[in-house]
Amino acid sequence: MSVDFDVIVLGGGANGTGVARDCAMRGLRVLLLEKADFGVGASGNSSGMIHGGIRYMLSDRHVTALACLDSGYIQRIAPHLLFRIPFLMPFASRKEGASLYERAVWYATEVYVGTYDLYQPLKRGKPSARLSAEELYALEPGLRSGLAGAVTLDEWGIDAFRLCTLNALDAAARGADVRTWTEARELLRDLGRVRGVRYRDVLTGEEGEARAPVVFNATGAWSPALARRNGAKVPMRPGKGVHLTLDRRFSNYGVICTAVDGRQMFLMPHERESIVGTTDDDYYGDPDDLEATNDEIEYLLEGASSLVPRVRNARITRAWCGLRTTLYEYGPNEDALSREHQIHDATGDGLAGLLSFVGGKLASYRAQAEEATDRIMDLLGRPRGACRTHLEPLPGGDEVPDPEILAREWPVAAPVASRLVYRHGSRAREVLQLIKDDQRLALVLCRDEGILAAEVVFCARQEKVRRLQDLRRRCRVGLGACAGVDCARISAQLAGRELGWGADRIRAELADLLDQGWRERRAILDGAQLAQEELVRGATGFLEVPW
C-alpha cells in the first residue's frame, strides 16, 4: 500500500503542533490536521503559564521539574513571546499572639516555596522573597486589610495561541503539510493496523484520504471520542477550567487567592486588563459545546474579591474556558489529579500505529513532543536522531528588536511597536516593511491591543489565516475591551482583500467573529452590559473604513 506521509498528526494545540515541528525537523513527511484553528482547544484557553506548577511539587515532583526545565528551553526558542509575571502569595492573619497553627502554616509555606526556589534557575526565575505586611501593601494597596505578609513566586506567561501558530508555521517551513479547518473524520485501518485518515475540509466540504503508517492523536479532550469511534480507548478525566477577563488592572502583580472551597486560584494583570482563573470541574459534555455558566463566574468573582474587593466593581469583558485532558483516576477531587502525561499505544485495541496523547502541561509541551517524536521514530523503525527543538528558534525568536528603535524608524508609537515585537519578535520588521508600500497600513486598528493594519495583512498573507476569527488568535482582533468595535470591520475588509473574499463572505466572517465574542460574553451580561452589547453590535456595523 502506498503512503503519502510518515506520520499524520491530529490536533493543532501545543502538543500536536509541537510534535509536527519535531517530526518535520527529524526529516519525516508530516501531515498536520486541525479541525478549526491553532490553539482553539485547551492550549489557547489555558492560563498560559510557562511555570513549574508549584502546586504539583508534593505529589508530582517530576511534573514540576520537567515544566521548569522546558520553560527554560521555551524562553530560549521564543524569547519575544514570554513575559515575566511575579506572583504574591499573601498570608491571612498574623496578629500578635497568632495561633500556633497559623504560624505553622506560614512556616510550612515558606519552606515549600523555598524548595521551589531550587528549580527557579532552570527557568530563569528569581528566588522567592518574604514580604512584611507593610511591604505587601506598598506593592498591592488594593488588597483587603488584615493581611500579615506574603511570599513571592516568579513565573512566566505566554501567548499560547501564538505559541501553537509558530510551531505549526515552523513545521510547515520544514516541509510539513499543515491544514487548518480540516477535520479527521475516520481512521483508515487494515489488518490490525492504522493506515491513515479520512478527512474533510470544513470550509469547502472537500473530503480526502491521507495514508501513513503512524497516526498521532493529539486532539486533546476530543481524543476519547475519536478513539472510541474507531474502536480504541483513551482513558481521560476531562476537567473544565473557566477564566474571566476584567476590563482593567486590579493588581500590579499576580496574586494567589483562596476560593470559597479552599482551592487555589489567581488574579493577574495582563496588559491593560486582569485575568481571574480558574475553576476545575469534571466535564462530561461535548467539547464543542463548552461555555461558562453564571455560577462559575460567581465562584471566580467571590474568590478574587475576597482578596481584592474592588474586583466586584469590574466590568467582565470575557468568560472563556478550556478542557484539561487530565489522566483518568477514580476518586480524587479534580484539582488533586495528577498533571503527568501519557502516550497511549492502541496496539492492544487492534490499531497498531495509533498513538494518543493524554495529560501534561503547556509548560512542558516541547519536552512532551520530543518524547512523542522518539516514540514515532521507534514505531517507524527509524533511528531517533537528535531532537533540536530546544535549540532552533521559532519564527521570529532569533532576536528581540528594541521597540523604541522601531518606533523611531517607522511611523508607529512605541507601545504599538512593543506589542508588535511581543507577538512577532524579529518578524516585526517584516510587518513594518509593508508600510513602505502602503502608508495606510500604519493605521492602528485597536488601541487596546495595539493592532496595526499592517499586522492584519501580514498574518493573512503569512500565517495560514483562513477565517476572520483566526485573526483573534494571530493578533487579537476582537479580543480587546471594546470587543471589536474598532478593529473587527476593518480587519474583515483587509483580510477579505488578501484572501479574495466577496462582500457576502466578508459579512459572514464578521458575523462569525462577533458571534465568537458573544458566546464568551453571554453568561456575564446584566442590564447595563446588555445595553452595551447592543451598542457594540450596532457600532461594528456602521464604521467607515478607508478601504
Ligand X SMILES: Cc1cc2nc3c(=O)[nH]c(=O)nc-3n(C[C@H](O)[C@H](O)[C@H](O)COP(=O)(O)OP(=O)(O)OC[C@H]3O[C@@H](n4cnc5c(N)ncnc54)[C@H](O)[C@@H]3O)c2cc1C
Query: How far are the Cα atoms of 84, 277, 417 from residue 19, in angstroms, in the given order?
Result: 26, 28, 32
Scan for cell 501534561, then name that residue.
Answer: 360
The single residue among 40, 113, 232, 435 that binds ligand X, judged by CB under 6 A, is 40
Q: Which of 219, 213, 205 is nearest to 188 (CA)?
A: 213
Helix (H, G, I), strand (E, B), or coil: what is residue 328? coil
**Strands, E assignment, 218-353:** 237-246, 254-258, 264-270, 273-277, 281-282, 316-326, 341-345
Residue closer to ligand X, measured from CB, 36 or 471:
36
For ligand X, which residue of 9, 47, 353, 490 counts as binding (CB under 6 A)?
Answer: 47
The burial of 198, by beta-carbon neighbours within 10 Å (0-12 exposed, 13-18 middle, 19 or more buried), is given as middle
What is the nearest approach in angstroms of ligand X to the Cβ of residue 283? 10
Position 227 contacts ligand X (CB under 6 A):
no
Q: With respect to ligand X, which residue has the nearer C-beta, 43 or 389?
A: 43
Residue 220: closest CA among 234, 231, 210:
234
Q: CB 457 → ligand X: shortest distance, Å?
A: 25
First to last CA, the chain: 52
CA distance 468 to 492: 6
Which residue stretch of 130-138, 187-195, 221-229, 426-434 sits at the interface with ligand X (rule: CB under 6 A)? 221-229
* Helices within 359-452 (DSSP H only): 365-380, 403-409, 414-424, 428-437
Say whether residue 226 binds ligand X (CB under 6 A). Answer: yes
**241 vs 320: CA distance, rounded Å:** 8
Find the farthest-apart pair of alpha carbons in the chain and give their distance in angstroms, rounded: 79
HSE (side-chain half, CA atoms, 13 Å) at 303: 25
For the CB of residue 377, give the shortest distance to ligand X in the complex, in Å.
Answer: 20
What is the Cβ-side half-sphere exposure of residue 248, based on CA atoms within 13 angstroms? 7
Place of cell 495509533: 354
Q: Which of residues 295-324 bind ligand X (CB under 6 A)?
A: 322-324
Does 464 interact with ligand X (rule: CB under 6 A)? no
**Mask 251-290, x = binds ligand X (CB under 6 A)?**
---------------------------x------------
Q: How far is the CB of 16 from ligand X (least distance, A)?
A: 5
35 binds ligand X (CB under 6 A): yes
What would the grid cell of residue 365 be?
A: 509541551
Q: With CA atoms as reference, report the closest residue to 354 among 228, 239, 237, 238.
A: 228
Q: Is 238 in the site for ligand X (CB under 6 A)?
A: no
Distance CA 307, CA 67 (A): 28
Our finding on whether 10 is near ligand X (CB under 6 A) is yes
User: What is the total count of residues that contact ligand X (CB under 6 A)?
Assistant: 39
Sequence-distant (≥ 6) Cβ neighbours of residue 313 within 8 angstroms: none
Draw the binding track, 338-377, toward ligand X (x: CB under 6 A; -: no contact). Answer: -------------------x--xxxx--------------
The pattern of x and - marking residues 144 through 183 that bind ligand X according to CB under 6 A reads: ---------------------------------------x
How many Å apart are CA 477 and CA 467, to the nearest integer?
12
Which residue, among 121, 324, 347, has the nearest Cα to 236 in the 3D structure? 324
Q: What minimum distance in Å lies between the beta carbon of 124 and ligand X?
A: 17
Interface region with ligand X, contact rule CB under 6 A, candidates 11-19, 303-311, 421-429, 442-450: 11-19
**Position 219 contacts ligand X (CB under 6 A):** yes
Rounded least distance, CB 348 to ligand X, Å: 22
- What is the closest distance, in whole angstroms, from the C-beta atom of residue 184 to ligand X in the complex? 4
Binding mask 48-87 for ligand X (x = CB under 6 A): xx--------------------------------------
Strand-pair category, 237-246 with 316-326: antiparallel
Nearer to ligand X, 326 or 493 (CB): 326
**Interface pick for ligand X out of 222, 266, 283, 410 (rule CB under 6 A):** 222
- Which residues contribute to the site for ligand X (CB under 6 A)? 10-16, 33-36, 40-43, 45-49, 183-184, 218-222, 226, 241, 278, 322-325, 357, 360-363
